[in-house]
Structure 1
């Protein structure tokens, strides 16, 4: 299940992806528009900056902006940064594999076999949907002006 932290990260990054010419946006503005507690948002944005998704600048004209193009940031990348592996069980994770304590043989476990398929399907969807794709969806539903350039 997606954590509240990941949902806030996705909403903040989508807002930043909407900004023209990669304008800096102050954290207070992001928090207010996306209805996210400011202190919680600060910690999220620092993590995303450390992982290379955001640039930041201090001062009167400072704030945050995307460090990469919206087309180059996938939902999967964001969720992994915030929540960790996508796999529903540790034994199905590529990056955080850990055998279940009650498992006798991970290679023949039918539960793991199914969870590997769930992980792969989830990763396929999330890794192939970018912030730009989500902005196109917003445009199609009327949440972004049609003239907005994606």
Structure 2
């Protein structure tokens, strides 16, 4: 399930994607338009800044903006930054693989096989859908 923090991050980045290129958006405007608590949004934008998706600028024309073109930022990328690995089972994670403690053999695990198909499809969609698509 997607976290509230990830939903807010997606909404904030979609708001930034709508801005004219080079125009920084004030955090108060983003929070107001997207109905995101300002303090929470500050934390989210800081995480996204550390991962190279947004920049911040001080001063008269200050605010936040995208560092990359919206067609190069995917929903999957954002969700991994905010929520970490998306895999439903630790044995399916590409970022944080861990063998399931109660599994004797991953190659014959029925649960892994079903969740692997579901995960592959959802990851494919999220990794191919960009902010520009939204």
Q: Structure 2 length normalisation: TM-score? A: 0.95
Whole-angstrom distance in 2 between the partners of 1:86 and 1:39: 25
- Unaligned runs of at least 5 residues, structure 2: none
- Are 1:36 and 2:31 matched, yes or no? no
For residues 1-150 of structure 1, the aligned pairs below 5 Å read 1-134=1-134
Per-residue displacement from partner, 1:60-102 (whole Å, max 9, x unpaired)? 3211000000110111111111111121111111111112222
Deviates more, 1:7-16 or 1:88-97: 88-97
Whole-angstrom distance in 1 between the partners of 2:19 and 2:110: 47
Report the 3-state secondary structure (helix = DSSP H, G, I; strand = E; otherwise coil) of the residue aligned with 2:107: coil
Q: Structure 1 length normalisation: TM-score? A: 0.85
Tell me how large the CA RMSD over aligned residues is: 1.0
- Unaligned runs of at least 5 residues, structure 1: 135-150
Whole-angstrom distance in 2 between the partners of 1:131 and 1:8: 14
After TM superposition, the runs of 4+ consecutive aligned structure 1 residues lying more than 3 A away are none
Whole-angstrom distance in 1 between the partners of 2:61 and 2:130: 28
